[in-house]
Structure 1
Amino acid sequence: MQVKKVLSYSAVGFVAFFLFTRPDDAAKAVRGAMDTVYTAADSLAQFVSHLS
């Protein structure tokens, strides 16, 4: 349990450091993740619509 807590705090610290030191790159990473989610949702919607 202790290792999980240390890894969680380390991940949060890294994200905060990345956000404050390189905000443009952080925004690009978030935009890329959101584009991936949008593309996956669109593909799933097309798949379901073709089932009918």
Structure 2
Amino acid sequence: MGVVTAVQAKKLIKWGAIGMAAFYLLNKPADAAQTVHGAFNGLVTAGNSMAQFFAQLT
């Protein structure tokens, strides 16, 4: 009964991360918005870099 399976550990980590994100969002919404904005900018930069790379291949 005391053994935690990999599936149980994965669920625990997932729900823990969701709980921490919700706590962060509710307690510091401006910081959470800045974090999302930074992550989005990172994705856009990565996409632009990949597009530039593939354009150079042709």
TM-score (norm 1): 0.90
Larger of the two Rg values belongs to structure:
2
Q: Secondary structure at the match of 1:9?
A: helix
Unaligned residue ranges in structure 2 (runs of 5+):
1-6
Aligned to 2:27: 21
Partners of 2:56 and 2:50 lie apart in 1 by: 10
2:52 aligns with one of 41, 46, 49: 46
- Residue 7 (structure 1) shift: 1.3
Unaligned residue ranges in structure 1 (runs of 5+):
none
Aligned to 1:3: 9
Letter in 2 for 1:36: G
Q: Which has the higher contact order (CA 8 A, sep 6+)?
A: 1
Structure having the higher helix fraction is 1
Identity across matched positions, percent: 42
User: Which stretches of structure 1, 4 residues or longer, exceed 6 Å deviation after superposition?
Assistant: none
Letter in 2 for 1:38: V
